[in-house]
């Protein structure tokens, strides 16, 4: 009797799983859309258009109107440039120049080569960190590889963390914050949003991107129609108007450092 009961319970537990699996296999795959985002910018009017590399963009379900609170918050947020952040945090001009040279937000973004630890191109923060690392790890090779472990937090990645904090706070105001997609552009300024259901979306960079001497913010509405599901939908954004450009950035001059 007891054994029969156990078998019944086991069947009850197993049956729904089996049914749901067979249903999943028989259901045709849901068609979804793909947006091929291309971000191309001009640093000045006379400069050529170039891909906006390594920048994060967000695709937020809902229209601009439905995400009004978010869009207002994006437009209201204080603008702080990378140079101003690092200047305010007493970074040396050499460190600011090192970051700027490769458009880096933090010290993690590129190698700290020997030239920047000693010699005419020395970055004082790196030289100090290297000396501390050498003392701590006992050899020059590890000291250089692990140099960033001895750079103060505010100069190491404070700017990135501030921006990440601002992004996280803004995303909470999106109408469907859990359905937000985020992608980063490649070196040509291209990125893909995939698995999109038909509907209206807002495409945005949430926090302004430094483009030359200006800060560019994109907040545009994008429609995915049923017809768009068969092939990828190209979507060009820029800081200059053009017939192919679907979304033009609102540019503001970089504010002076306070």
Partner 1 sequence: MNTILKASVFVCVCLWPVYGAVDYTKFSHSTPKHKSACNTCHKIPTKDWTKASAFPDITDYPDHDACVSCHRPQFFRGARPPICSVCHVKTSPRDEARFAFRNPASKLQFTIEFPHDRHQDVIALRQTNAWRSNLLAHAAPQQNFNNCTLCHAPALAVATPPAGGWLDSYAPPAATFKAAPSDHSSCFSCHWKSQEPVATNCNGCHKLAAPYTAAAMPTRISLKFMHDGGGEKKQHVAECTTCHINITKSATLRGLKPDVPITSCTECHNKDGLRQDLNTELAALDKNRAFTCVYCHTSNVGKLDAPASHYLIAQRPPLKRRDIK
Q: Site residues (CB under 8 A) for partner 1?
A: 29, 34, 54, 56, 102-106, 108-111, 113, 137-138, 141-142, 144-146, 148-149, 153, 156-157, 160, 164, 181-184, 186-188, 190-192, 194, 230, 232
Q: CB of 252: closest distance to partner 1 in angstroms? A: 23
For the chain, give the number of residues: 258
Report the residue number, 191 or 251, with the smaller CB distance to partner 1. Answer: 191
Q: CB of 3: closest distance to partner 1 in angstroms? A: 19
Distance CA 53, CA 62 (A): 26
- CB of 145 closer than 8 Å to CB of 137: no
Long-range contacts of residues 92-100, Cβ cutoff 8 Å, at least 24 apart: 92/123, 92/124, 92/125, 94/121, 94/122, 94/123, 94/124, 95/123, 95/124, 95/125, 95/126, 95/155, 98/123
Letter string b/e over residues 219-235, b meaning 16 or more CB atoms within 10 A of that residue's CB: bebbebeeebbeeebeb
Report the residue number, 159 or 251, with the smaller CB distance to partner 1. Answer: 159
Report the residue number, 106 or 214, with the smaller CB distance to partner 1. Answer: 106
Q: Which pair of structure tokens corresponds to residue 105?
A: 């937000």
Q: CB of 116: closest distance to partner 1 in angstroms? A: 12
Report the residue number, 15 or 192, with the smaller CB distance to partner 1. Answer: 192
Q: CB of 160: closest distance to partner 1 in angstroms? A: 6
Report the residue number, 4 or 153, with the smaller CB distance to partner 1. Answer: 153
* Phi, psi of 190, deg, nearest 5: -105, 145
- DSSP string for 146-173: TGGGGS-HHHHTHHHHHHHHHHHHHHTT
Report the residue number, 221 or 232, with the smaller CB distance to partner 1. Answer: 232
* Phi, psi of 139, deg, nearest 5: -150, 150
Would you call 234 helix, strand, or coil by DSSP? strand
Q: CB of 184: closest distance to partner 1 in angstroms? A: 4
Q: CB of 35: closest distance to partner 1 in angstroms? A: 11
């Amino acid at each position: 009797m007891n054994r029969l009961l156990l078998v019944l319970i086991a069947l009850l537990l197993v049956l729904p799983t089996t049914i749901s699996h067979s249903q999943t296999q028989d259901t045709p795959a849901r068609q979804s859309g793909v947006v091929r985002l291309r971000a191309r910018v001009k640093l000045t009017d006379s400069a050529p258009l170039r891909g906006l590399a390594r920048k994060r963009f967000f695709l937020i379900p809902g229209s601009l109107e439905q995400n009004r609170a978010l869009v207002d918050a994006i437009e209201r947020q204080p603008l702080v440039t990378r140079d101003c952040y690092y200047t305010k945090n007493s970074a040396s001009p050499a460190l600011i120049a090192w970051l700027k040279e490769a458009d880096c937000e933090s010290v993690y973004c590129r190698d700290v080569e020997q030239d920047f630890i000693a010699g005419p191109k020395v970055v004082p923060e790196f030289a100090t960190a290297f000396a501390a690392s050498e003392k701590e790890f006992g050899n020059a090779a590890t000291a250089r590889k692990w140099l960033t472990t001895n750079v103060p937090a505010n100069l190491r990645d404070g700017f990135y963390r501030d921006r990440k904090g601002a992004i996280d706070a803004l995303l909470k105001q999106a109408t469907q914050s859990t359905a937000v997609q985020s992608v980063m552009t490649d070196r040509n300024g291209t990125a893909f949003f995939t698995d999109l259901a038909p509907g209206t979306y807002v495409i945005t960079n949430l926090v302004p991107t430094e483009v030359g001497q200006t800060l560019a913010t994109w907040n545009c509405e994008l429609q995915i129609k049923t017809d768009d599901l068969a092939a990828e939908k190209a979507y060009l954004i820029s800081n200059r108007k053009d017939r192919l450009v679907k979304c033009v950035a609102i540019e503001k001059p970089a504010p002076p450092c306070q």
